[in-house]
Amino acid sequence: MNRPAPSARVDVIRVSGARTDHTEDVVAGEEPMEIRLAIPQEDGVFTRSLSVTMRTPGDDFELAAGFLFTEGIVRGKEDIARIGYTSDGKREQEGNLVTVSLRPGVRLDPKRLLRHFYVTSSCGVCGKASLEAVRVFVPGPLPVGRPRVSEDVLRGLPARLREAQAIFAETGGLHAAGLFTPDGEVVGIREDVGRHNAVDKVVGEQVLRNAVPLSDSILQVSGRGSFEIVQKALVAGIPVVSAVGAPSSLAVDLAREFRMTLVGFARREGFNVYHDAGRLAFGHPSPSR
């Protein structure tokens, strides 16, 4: 099977000052990936298309597992029998169609399946409906006051994430998500053109290792702290989310409701804490709230 590549070489005209050159550049790969569910039934196996997302090829099985888990469709590795590529005999689908086969007896919520059939992983539903949907499949309350994370560790995570972005170094065009221990050690890092996909990939790796919930982990993302990032982290049981960019108002609302530590504008010089500084150990007097 010829699988799509995570990057590609393209011809460009590079203009620099008064000079114009014909040369090559490396760009991030972007391909549609369809996720299908194979559901065992008494009279055979029913297969249905669940979602299509634009992603950077690579770690596709982790992306599929992470998406199904963070969207509350499967509870963990125990619900998944196998994951594999399929193509339906169409060359253009090779490496872009992933089928997740469920184990017999897995109970599915038909309403959630219907929602994801029409909505790709880049959006979800908005506002109050989103908050209500998250409440349904949150695994439980986040641990209060733990893990303890030092200010210095948080300051260093964006640089550690950037250093591990191999494809970004080639293309300059990818988001990244990284899981870290409270001491700042790397658990896993994944890249993708979609920031939500990067999170699904890094969480999906842990789902397939049967290592969720991730109650002693920090999630560092290269972009903004959007609602879908916080939602996916919450379902995975991640208590601390740090973003290089700004959070959205709905992301802050979600962090407040579920007592998640949410950090934005994270960099070596400092960061903003948008909710719950109680897990953070500061090298100077702590803020009053």
Q: Where in the sequence numbering do the catalytic residues fall?
A: 123
DSSP for the chain, please give it.
--PPPSEEEEEEEEEETTEEEEEEEEEE--EEEEEEEEEEETTEEEEEEEEEEEE-SSSHHHHHHHHHHHTTS--SGGGEEEEEE--TT-GGGTTTEEEEEEPTT----HHHHHHHHHS-TTT---HHHHHHHHHHH--SPPPTT-S-EEHHHHHHHHHHHHHT-HHHHHHS--EEEEEE-TT--EEEEEEESSHHHHHHHHHHHHHHTT----TT-EEEESS-B-HHHHHHHHHTT--EEEESSPBPHHHHHHHHHHT-EEEEEEETTEEEEEE-GGGEE-SSPPP--
